[in-house]
Amino acid sequence: NAGVTQTPKFRILKIGQSMTLQCAQDMNHNYMYWYRQDPGMGLKLIYYSVGAGITDKGEVPNGYNVSRSTTEDFPLRLELAAPSQTSVYFCASSYSRPSYEQYFGPGTRLTVT
């Protein structure tokens, strides 16, 4: 099993550009999440999904969009990139209850200049 994979590992964007961060998992998990981690801060939830076709906003959704057309994939779309979106982005997945353990990908480091 590859677990949770994320691409790309690094990306530099200019202000106003758009991009999609890819996330895939091969563990047949229902739940998937996108987090961002700013320096010295904890992970903040951007969006999450409880199954294919179902997504919901987390704590910091502004400037992002998601879709979940399959169980495996959960891409995160950045429209009109801004310097405030410079961060490390982590995708995670988990089973439904009773296990709350989330499996994380290696992260994507994004810089917007």
2 part of the interface to another protein, by CB under 8 A? no
40 part of the interface to another protein, by CB under 8 A? yes
User: Among the candidate windows 11-19, 68-76, 77-85, 99-107, which touches another protein by CB under 8 A?
Assistant: 99-107
Spell out a b/e string for 61-89, using b for 16 or more CB atoms within 10 Å of the CB, else e. beebebbbeebbebbbebeebeeebbbbb
User: Among the candidate windows 13-21, 65-73, 74-82, 103-111, which touches another protein by CB under 8 A?
Assistant: 103-111
Site residue total, another protein (CB under 8 A): 25
Q: Least distance (Å) from another protein to the CB of residue 36?
A: 11
Residues that bind another protein (CB under 8 A): 4, 31, 35, 40-45, 48, 50, 58-59, 90, 92, 94, 97, 100-107
